[in-house]
Amino acid sequence: MSPVYDCRDEAQLLSGMRHARQTLSRGELVVLPTDTVYGIAADAFNARAVAGLLAAKGRGRQQPPPVLVAGVSTLRALVADVPEPVERLVEAFWPGGLTIVLPSQPSLSWDLGETRGTVAVRMPAHRIALELLEETGPLAVSSANRTGAPAAVTIDEARDMLGESVGVYLDDGPSHTGIASTIVDATRLVGGDEPLVRVLREGAVPRERLRDVLGDLLEPDVEDESGGAA
């Protein structure tokens, strides 16, 4: 069976991180804790590994995984441009539960799926995830569950769904929030006719907090336009 390391124990943490790095370098998958829910991770620059991640989740190339990074410098290396409003979002919500979709850097040689030239990027607020990212570089990470099932908030839930498709499981107890990240599409800020940010999924960061930072650059939803959703 794929090993599980309890990262709350220092000895297991050291062994688990070493094994996780080796597993990722071989193009295999790792389940790791984040500040939102547990994630299933692959080397973002290994197309076979990313394909394995999608297969483990029962997902097609039409649903490419987000990429987790250890800091803003890596974001700048992965995307074509970081507009000033995105700088504000990063300052306000990173590290944390906000995933930002931007046009990807065209010179990168990677294959995350049918991205249409974009990449979804997040910096998690979790010590284990950040330490691993510092050592491995960007990781393609999706919620640790089969597509259509609830996101795993414990290592046991992740193992029940993903089993032996994952090489190493890193356990840090129940997820801190259990709420998936908010995803925003900021691609129209880069050369778009109508520079607005659209919320694709509301999660850990509420829409109201996004509006505090973006103001009128946040695209209205039905509730905003009508003054109150039914």
Which tokens in the block code for residue 70? 């250890």
Which tokens in the block code for residue 230? 């039914």
CATH second-level architecture of 4-215? Alpha-Beta Complex (3.90)
Residue 229 has pLDDT above 60, yes or no: no
Residue 201 has pLDDT above 50, yes or no: yes
Residue 33 has pLDDT above 60, yes or no: yes
CA proximity to 141, closest of 170, 105, 117, 173 = 170
What b/e sequence results for 85-113 when a residue is b if at least 16 CB atoms lie within 10 Å of its CB, and e otherwise?
bbeebbeebbbbbbbbbbbbeeebebbbb
Rg for the chain, CA atoms, rounded? 17
- 8 A C-beta contact, residue 23 and residue 32: no
- With 0-12 / 13-18 / 19 or more C-beta atoms within 10 angstroms meaning exposed / middle / buried, residue 146 is middle
Q: How confident is the model at residue 53 (pLDDT cuts 50, 70, 90)?
A: very high
Which tokens in the block code for residue 110? 């990677």
In the predicted model, what is the mean pLDDT of the chain? 94
Residue 29 has pLDDT above 70, yes or no: yes
Residue 217 has pLDDT above 90, yes or no: yes
User: What pLDDT digit, counting tens, does each position of 70-99 carry?
Assistant: 999 999 999 999 999 999 999 999 999 999
Q: Could you tell me which residue, 4 or 191, shows the higher pLDDT? A: 4
Q: How confident is the model at residue 126 (pLDDT cuts 50, 70, 90)?
A: very high
pLDDT value at position 194? Answer: 86
pLDDT value at position 193? Answer: 78
Q: How confident is the model at residue 176 (pLDDT cuts 50, 70, 90)?
A: confident
Residue 199 has pLDDT above 50, yes or no: yes
Lowest mean pLDDT among 77-91, 137-151, 181-195, 206-220: 181-195
Q: What is the DSSP letter of 195?
A: -
Percentage of the residues of the chain whose pLDDT score is greater than 70:
96
